[in-house]
Amino acid sequence: MNKATVLQRALATGIIPVIRAASEEDALFAAEAVLAGGVDVVEITMTVPGATSVISRIAETLPGILVGAGTVLNAEAAQRCLDAGAQFLVSPGINLKTLEFAQRKSVLMLAGALTPTEVMSAWEFGADLVKIFPCSQVGGASYIRALKGPFPDIPLVPTGGVNLDTCAEFIAAGASALGVGGELILKDAIRQKNAELISGLARQMLQAVQTARAARPKA
């Protein structure tokens, strides 16, 4: 799958679940649960034990999922993730060597930024999407709306503070997609192996995003 197709699919879904789990099995459980809820994109963070193994297993056993690697801090880690089968890369901040690597490999890259200067830098150095993290600490949806003023053409993906109650507001503010972590990948649901709790929440969030997009004024 080429980068353009990966980008189109990620944006079409509009929700990128950020899976941080205590074990490989828990991460796989979460990925299967969100897929059952209609969300076919997941980000496996490198903080998950055996993260590259999880990526490989998802790529092999869940072909319906677009799987990416998160918390990628350098180009060496990025290469390991691609070798494992990752189809996109996500970093919490800007690392120029990782951005250069992603461009060289023609792989979709979400680079983290927070301030306007960082947003400009991430975009200038080749990020395909700019992840605004941690968004909730600086105003949530109102901050995305403020950033879209000077940066109307930069696709922003807020992460942090995105949940069922706020996701529509983020979309209305101009977010291109949403990074959703613990508000969707519920620790209690994983511990209790309650897949339907996660799947049901994924379905509701997906519907909220689609409804908010439909209500957005056409450019």
- Rg of the chain's alpha carbons, rounded to an integer? 16
Q: Which of 105, 131, 169, 193 is catalytic?
A: 131
String of b and e for 44-80 (b: at least 16 CB within 10 Å)? bbbebeebbebbbbbbeebeebbbbbbbbeebebbeb
Both tokens of 183, joined, read 């508000």
Euclidean distance between CA atoms 54 and 2, whole angstroms: 22
Read off the DSSP letter of residue 218. Answer: P
Distance CA 140, CA 161 (A): 7
| 131 annotated active-site | yes
Q: Which of 3, 25, 32, 43 is catalytic?
A: 43
Catalytic residues: 43, 131
